[in-house]
Amino acid sequence: GEDVEQSLFLSVREGDSSVINCTYTDSSSTYLYWYKQEPGAGLQLLTYIFSNMDMKQDQRLTVLLNKKDKHLSLRIADTQTGDSAIYFCAESNRDSNYQLIWGAGTKLIIKP
């Protein structure tokens, strides 16, 4: 079945860029998402990209999609302490009846 993989942890220094990576197996994925979960809270949509796009930028966030390698990344420029959270990658496609397939989440740790 479909699978979405992420590293469990990423540690960066405040002010540096964070790059969170995600790989997926489903070649028919059409939407790929990044959600953010702050401690003790539910998930919140950060951004998403349609599979006919290579890149999407929104302020400090840049999403890159490499369809050939089935690789998705989220870059956070000028990482701040408020960016500390777990970041989930997810994908959806028609074959899975539009259900989201989730990665396990990457915990972003900010070092002062």
Partner 1 sequence: NAGVTQTPKFQVLKTGQSMTLQCAQDMNHEYMSWYRQDPGMGLRLIHYSVGAGITDQGEVPNGYNVSRSTTEDFPLRLLSAAPSQTSVYFCASSWESAWGNEQFFGPGTRLTVL
Residue numbers at the binding site for partner 1 (CB under 8 A): 4, 8, 30-31, 40-45, 48, 50, 88, 90, 92-94, 97-105
Nearer to partner 1, 36 or 110 (CB): 36
Question: C-beta of 105: minimal distance to partner 1 in Å?
Answer: 7
Count Cβ neighbours within 10 Å for each residue of 49-79 and write b for 16 or more, e otherwise: bebeeeebeeeebbbbbeeeebebbbbbeeb
Question: C-beta of 94: minimal distance to partner 1 in Å?
Answer: 7
Instruction: Output DSSP code: residue 15.
Output: T
